[in-house]
Structure 1
Amino acid sequence: MSQRHAVVVGAGIGGLTAAVALHRRGWRVTVCERAPEPPVTGAGIGLAPNALRALDAIGVDAARAAGDHVPATMGARRSDGRWLTRTATADMAARYGVAPLAVPRTALTTALAAALPPRALRYGAAVTAVDGGTDGDGDGGRAIVRTAGGPDLRADLVVAADGIHSPLRRAHFPAHPGLRYLGETAWRTIVDAPELRVAAMSETWGRGERFGLTPLSDGRLYLYATAPAPAGTRSADPRAELRRRFGAWHDPIPALLDRIDRLDPADVLQNDLYDLAAPLPRLHHGRIAWLGDAAHAMAPNLGQGGCQAIEDAVVLAHLLPASREAFSLDDDHDHADVDTDTDGTGRADPVPAALAAYTAARLARTDAVRVRARRVGRLGTLRNPLAAAVRDLAVRAAPARLTLRGMDDLFDGFRLPG
């Protein structure tokens, strides 16, 4: 039997996790990324216990790859610094078996890319279309992946990890309403400020605005802020805009803004926030499987966007048949397009059934997280002073053990299908 071939569209965290998981199942993998090179700047990503367990299931140790510094506590605060809720990460580790870890995105993507065979990852390779992949269509039932620079690639599986604005989602689900603007813009950056000794992961709520700070696994700090704004609103200097909005908030925010002032403006990322207006009818079509933001773009309010992408990737690879030809991490495998067989035994190809099982395993869970993230965001963005005060009182009154228990379905919800 020839080795099955998967083409992964997009080299973000979800796409690279899928590529590593499939490679370790013995698949030949080609990752097509439209960007000309890997990113050199970026933000952080929080890896909740569910994502860490999913990575562990495919043999990826995030702490070893990106550092193991874990904040002592995490919680929410008011703009004057008063804590509304706070949880020790040691309590989370005791409950879920592992503490959450926040890592630089570039460190994680670099580690994942390094786990792939040479030449598996192709930068500057924009995918323009995927044809075929359904019965009686394509190349003997396989999908044909069209790339801007050629050549076309034949694939037993296409993983659409092409991001929140997924062209493949729009092409294959043309009746879907697409994205919904959440009414907020967000800034993100990373600073180095060891002298501030920030030991807590926190999100501070004001009236419609939020400021988050997260100690990263390498000792730096990931900062983010959100504010209501019409879509497309941009200031001439994001650093000045952040100081205008948050300069009077509690310590150490003013000192962190000083660090942001020293950055190049290009190192402060700004993105408007969107989520998917409605769930996709399914997470697969023909031989294409969607994952991550391409499948279920969600608000960042739960810190689960990347975590759910990682879960998607691991579950997808688990459900797909293993190839009979597996390669070690050191194999220098030539990724020229070669013929593949479907099964080699005369039996029906198992890939379509595996993709249907993937939809069954992931659609309800990911859409529930998407809806919950949207609802949580409404609390964080309350602008009416009375409504914000009532919210703060309610959060402060909730016992810490109940707050932690409320995360069970997220942090303890990852399972590989039996």
Structure 2
Amino acid sequence: MPTLFEFSQTIRNLNKEKKFSETLKFFKDNKTEFRPEEIGLNKFVVYEMISALIETNHYDVIFTFIEQHNVVLDEKNFGYLLKKFKDKPSVNWTVVNKFCDLISVENLDTDCKTIEVERKGEKKPMELASDKENWFAFKTKALFETQQYQECFELSKKALETFEKFHYSNEVWFARRIALSKKHLGNSEEALNELLQVLRRKKEWFIQNEVAEIYKENGEFDKAFKYAIEAINNFGDLEYKVGLLVLIANILEQKQEKELSFKHYMLSKLLRQQEEWKVPQTLDYALQNLGFAQIPLEQLPNLKRELKNYWNTFKQEKIKPFDKTRTTTNQNFEGEIVRLLHDNERGKVGFIKSNGKEHYFSVNPNYHSISEISVGTKVIFEILPPKDDKKDQTRIKKIIA
């Protein structure tokens, strides 16, 4: 008969070898040797068992295990378990929502740990979000994904009021969830205004897509088309923009551009077929109603090329990216902030990427647009000549809205 320590060590070792199904079998075969409360009070067994159940997608059993053994989750392990859900290929947000309710958020740690990460051979400190901030991020996301919009709105608002400092642009994501919850609750006008504010801080294609959808619903098709085209031209794999392609097709249909509308519907369908994703019936109906002969899958590269050329005609003239071969200083260049190393009362420090090169920058805390500087922000910057034998200096001149 194994001792409780030996029992927990065996479970831990099986998990370490990723033999999660064997973990569950070993537990089932040996659990009767111990009282349920003995198991429930052993935080090591609890952590390893819940980990194995997450890894094997036995989500319902997690809550049965907790109930049968009167488990009180350890606050220090809770954050690690929560992140395991997000590491799954497909997140079950209903389970995440229920799991978040197993612990009082007020008991979670507010300390932000710092780790060292290696960048180009040099170790740099990086501050992580606290367990409490992570709980708000997961819980509000779960509420939104499970269509509990009123609760999502209220909790996202509370999150913004709770923390003075955020990580991973969480303040932007909370603001976005507030806006989208308002949309689903019937307040499209406020949702649109707030999404436009979010977009100034985080120019992501899916936010542009959301703005375009509201304009379309309001019958403002020119504005909807503008933001939809900006979204399709923005960073992001085309395969994940199949819904955006349908939106563009809808708008073009409203604008009586039937052939272009058909081609966008068709591209959405072919991309789904290529990825072996389900094609919605509504997409097939839209293609049939337009009456053009459907394009075979082998013509996908040609269709993609044709429409990319069409989208490119709407791109605005941009300042050329920085080219190291150009030696003249005090010129304006366009780039994107790709990393933030520090974000505190002393300002922000990080790297701007332009034309494949990364440029170190620092911003004084008094900089007028410091709140808008985050990963993904596009900026206009200049390279100042070196002073006192130091390296070139990068100075951010403008945030691109």
Under a length normalisation based on structure 2, what TM-score does the superposition of the two structures give?
0.23
Q: Greater helix share, 1 or 2?
A: 2
State which structure, 1 or 2, has the greater radius of gyration over its C-alpha atoms.
Answer: 2
Q: Greater strand share, 1 or 2?
A: 1
- Greater RCO (CA < 8 Å, at least 6 residues apart): 1
